[in-house]
Amino acid sequence: MKDNVKPTPIDWEQRKYDLAVALYYHDIRLSDIVTPENRLARWPAHISVSAEMAVEAAEVFINEYRRHAVMESGEKSHAP
């Protein structure tokens, strides 16, 4: 038996932003764990590169997801 759940429109810009933030913080934490001794010397450059890479990765992922997850009802989905 199906539930009467109405699909909600997806805010793709918010999803891109949330994914980019998660990737950015993951990269910062990982680099801090791997090379804590270089953290201060490389911090400004690493922050900039990490942020750019996170935004680019999030945009590519969301665009590919949307391209492959076309549903009959258009831009509505319950995907995370």
Rounded Cα distance between 16 and 18, Å, is 6
- The answer to whether residue 24 is domain-embedded is yes
* More confident of the two residues 11 and 1: 11
| Residue 78 falls inside a structural domain | no
pLDDT (tens digit per residue) in 11-44: 888 988 899 999 888 888 887 777 766 666 667 7
Full residue range of the structural domain in which residue 46 is found: 12-67
In tens, the pLDDT along 42-59 reads: 677 778 888 888 999 999
What would the DSSP string read from start to end of the chain?
Answer: ----PPP-B--HHHHHHHHHHHHHHHHHHHHHHH-GGGHHHHHHHHHHHHHHHHHHHHHHHHHHHHHH--BTTBSB----
Q: Is residue 41 a part of any domain in this protein?
A: yes
Residue 45's pLDDT is what? 77
Q: Is residue 32 part of a domain?
A: yes
pTM, whole model, 2 decimals? 0.61
In a domain, 79, yes or no: no
Decide if 35 is inside a domain. yes
Q: How much is the CA Rg of the chain, to the nearest whole Å?
A: 17
Q: pLDDT: is 57 or 10 the higher one?
A: 57
Please tell me the total count of domains within the chain: 1
Q: Assess if residue 37 is contained within a domain.
A: yes
